[in-house]
Chains A and B, each alone.
Chain A
């Protein structure tokens, strides 16, 4: 009897031990989940990986963009942070790394070099330490509803220069067409205007200059005054000051306005959020660069605003998270996004899989840009970035002078 009991206990202990050895490693991936088709594609990649990698289970945790932005600091401080987080790099990862919340994955750089260009790796280095990888490029430019623009008496070519665009605002308004849609409630879509104007007036290095020389420089003042001048024409839709991003891009998809200065994620989102679920017909939706033809034209009119969207690995994440990320960044995984027209993956060899003509154009424009400036609110970090968004909206609403804008941003930057 005693022997039987001891044997049973030994068997049970053995089972517990073997169970522990075979226990799955769970990798939690926190991401922006605004676009259903994007989520489905991610899930397909994850399902394939989970099936091919016994013992590892990757779980994605989608969150709305604004919610993720506001909740991330708290999540990072919790005892159970996600292993991989969606990130735009820049000031965000600098602050997170300084606080010790990101892993040092420099030892895996070679694995990433095999799948993405060095620029995508360098975008996620903080003081030489690798903390993640960029998997996607984003470009912000004019999205134009061409038939509506023409109906308002304006041709696409008229938008090539800033003066032409300013005249177009008047023409469109006089013909009863809302010139521009934006989202002053969420604020960040308005920052693209100020940032582009800074690039055109101040050149490719303007954001680094304001960080070191301060915001009260002639180029910033000029850009801020350009935005004030544009805002004075009241080009935006009624109620824009409290409009959130998704409803606003839905309005654009519904044909409520002729132009949206937005990123390439809008191609899908204008359709997803339109009342009919289809949005503007592909042939009617025209992508053109932000106007050039400024007196300074300091960036030769080719500088672009956008992002290098990627992933950061949090401190304490298992090596399996890094291994998964290397797979996720590779062409084998990213071609699924490219084939569906979901963004511009940075994976080596993915170009052949980009079939959507608009994304091919986006890819070409980024390649030709004299500079590709990261979103200002990301570049400056959460504190000064938040102030930048506030300032952009206040300038566009003619509620702040250029000098006040410079002073506000300087104060936010100094106290970040």
Chain B
């Protein structure tokens, strides 16, 4: 009896060891890739952020400045503006872009004449390269040849130089971002809505629910996990917002329309202050990590 139980224990432990080995074989590539492409670069950036380093050769202790890059960063008015602009872009995404996407999805989710065509039309801006979209809208907002300015002049007004207005330039970013990305979120919602069991709507109709009641009590709960995912994508995308800003406003005028990443590019990379840029990158990384983990923990815990 004792021998049999020892055999069983031995066999279980062998199975356990084999299981660990198998797991290690499958997990190892992921760990190696994660280490090579995520952990090491982040650690390197974190290390470089403690140096006043121009990026042209390895940082040396002569250039060690401790936390000075972070202190300067947090007290730099342009970075503070970049932070508030990024916050504004997130707010616009959550309060304008996603509700608009939801409204369009509600209109176009089910088979009606033209619904597929309109879905494609609204989705098209998303597949356009961001740099191309930025350039396109730069021409649209141009004070000399842009259509807004032309229309205003045709109506007897003056040329409108929106991109030269330090208070309005960031608004153009919000407009273009909404135009560019709402179609993507609309598609997510459409997919979610189409997966809802139709019998739920029939039951709601029998119970006398209004259109709003069906939306509130059937559609919204039905796509709740999609909404949570869409908000997650949206927030992280906004935190990393860059490609549209460079061709559209270049962060100007007077550095008024920078986002965190365009600030990193212009004040870190182009000025060859790579250590300082790394401090921006690390700050952004920490913000992203905190947002991502908090969101996963508190908002997406059941998904």
- Taking the closest CB of chain A, its distance from the CB of B253, in whole angstroms, is 4
- Taking the closest CB of chain A, its distance from the CB of B92, in whole angstroms, is 21
Whether the pair A382, B271 counts as a contact (CB closer than 8 A) is yes
Whether the pair A101, B56 counts as a contact (CB closer than 8 A) is yes
Contact string against B for A residues 369-399, beta-carbon threshold 8 Å, 1 for contact and 0 otherwise: 0000000000001110111001001100101
In the complex, what distance in Å separates the CA atom of A73 from the CA atom of B54? 9
Whether the pair B254, A77 counts as a contact (CB closer than 8 A) is no
In the complex, what distance in Å separates the CA atom of A135 from the CA atom of B3? 92
Dominant SS at the B interface?
A: loop
A415 within 8 A of B: yes
Set B158, B249, B254, B273: member contacting A393, Cβ < 8 A: B254
Interface pick from B34-42, B120-128, B161-169, B285-293: B161-169
In the complex, what distance in Å separates the CA atom of A100 from the CA atom of B72? 28
* Chain B 246-278 interface residues, beta-carbon cutoff 8 Å to A: 249-250, 252-255, 266-267, 269-273, 276
- Taking the closest CB of chain A, its distance from the CB of B23, in whole angstroms, is 38
Contact string against B for A residues 199-231, beta-carbon threshold 8 Å, 1 for contact and 0 otherwise: 000000000000000000000000000000000
* Chain B 110-163 interface residues, beta-carbon cutoff 8 Å to A: 143-144, 158-159, 161, 163
A98 within 8 A of B: yes
Whether the pair A397, B56 counts as a contact (CB closer than 8 A) is no
In the complex, what distance in Å separates the CA atom of A394 from the CA atom of B254? 7
- Taking the closest CB of chain A, its distance from the CB of B301, in whole angstroms, is 42
Set B57, B252, B270: member contacting A382, Cβ < 8 A: B270
In the complex, what distance in Å separates the CA atom of A99 from the CA atom of B276? 17
Whether the pair A415, B253 counts as a contact (CB closer than 8 A) is no
Given contacts A73-B269, A383-B272, A386-B270, contact A184 B253 (CB under 8 A): yes
Given contacts A73-B55, A99-B56, A184-B253, contact A239 B161 (CB under 8 A): yes
B86 within 8 A of A: no
Interface size class of B (residues with CB under 8 A): 20 to 34
Contact string against B for A residues 171-187, beta-carbon threshold 8 Å, 1 for contact and 0 otherwise: 00000000000001100
Given contacts A241-B252, A242-B253, contact A99 B159 (CB under 8 A): no
* Chain B 164-212 interface residues, beta-carbon cutoff 8 Å to A: 164, 166, 169
- Taking the closest CB of chain B, its distance from the CB of A251, in whole angstroms, is 8
B85 within 8 A of A: no
In the complex, what distance in Å separates the CA atom of A415 from the CA atom of B250? 24
Residue of B nearest to A381 (CB): B272
Dominant SS at the A interface?
A: helix
In the complex, what distance in Å separates the CA atom of A383 from the CA atom of B272? 6
In the complex, what distance in Å separates the CA atom of A77 from the CA atom of B252? 28
Whether the pair B250, A100 counts as a contact (CB closer than 8 A) is no
Whether the pair B254, A241 counts as a contact (CB closer than 8 A) is yes
- Taking the closest CB of chain B, its distance from the CB of A339, in whole angstroms, is 36
B52 within 8 A of A: yes
- Taking the closest CB of chain B, its distance from the CB of A388, in whole angstroms, is 11
What chain B residues lie within 8 Å of A393 (beta carbons)? 253-254
Whether the pair A185, B57 counts as a contact (CB closer than 8 A) is no
In the complex, what distance in Å separates the CA atom of A157 from the CA atom of B211? 77
What chain B residues lie within 8 Å of A394 (beta carbons)? 254
Given contacts A70-B269, A241-B253, A383-B271, contact A77 B164 (CB under 8 A): no
Whether the pair A98, B56 counts as a contact (CB closer than 8 A) is yes
Residue of A nearest to B165 (CB): A241
Whether the pair A242, B163 counts as a contact (CB closer than 8 A) is yes
Whether the pair A95, B56 counts as a contact (CB closer than 8 A) is yes
A245 within 8 A of B: no
A76 within 8 A of B: yes
Whether the pair B54, A99 counts as a contact (CB closer than 8 A) is yes
Whether the pair A239, B72 counts as a contact (CB closer than 8 A) is no
- The residue among A70, A96, A242, A393 with the most chain B CB atoms within 10 A of its own CB is A242
- Taking the closest CB of chain B, its distance from the CB of A66, in whole angstroms, is 9
In the complex, what distance in Å separates the CA atom of A390 from the CA atom of B271? 12
A240 within 8 A of B: yes
In the complex, what distance in Å separates the CA atom of A76 from the CA atom of B269? 13
What chain A residues lie within 8 Å of B57 (beta carbons)? 99-100
Binding site for B on A (CB under 8 A): 69-70, 73-74, 76-77, 95-96, 98-101, 184-185, 238-243, 381-383, 385-387, 390, 393-394, 397, 399, 411, 415-416
A-B contact pairs, 13 of them (CB 8 A): A73-B272, A77-B55, A95-B272, A96-B56, A99-B57, A185-B253, A241-B164, A241-B253, A243-B164, A382-B270, A386-B267, A386-B270, A393-B254
Binding site for A on B (CB under 8 A): 52, 54-57, 72, 143-144, 158-159, 161, 163-164, 166, 169, 249-250, 252-255, 266-267, 269-273, 276
- Having A382-B272, A386-B267, one finds 5 other A-B pairs with CB under 8 Å, namely A238-B159, A386-B266, A397-B254, A411-B72, A415-B276
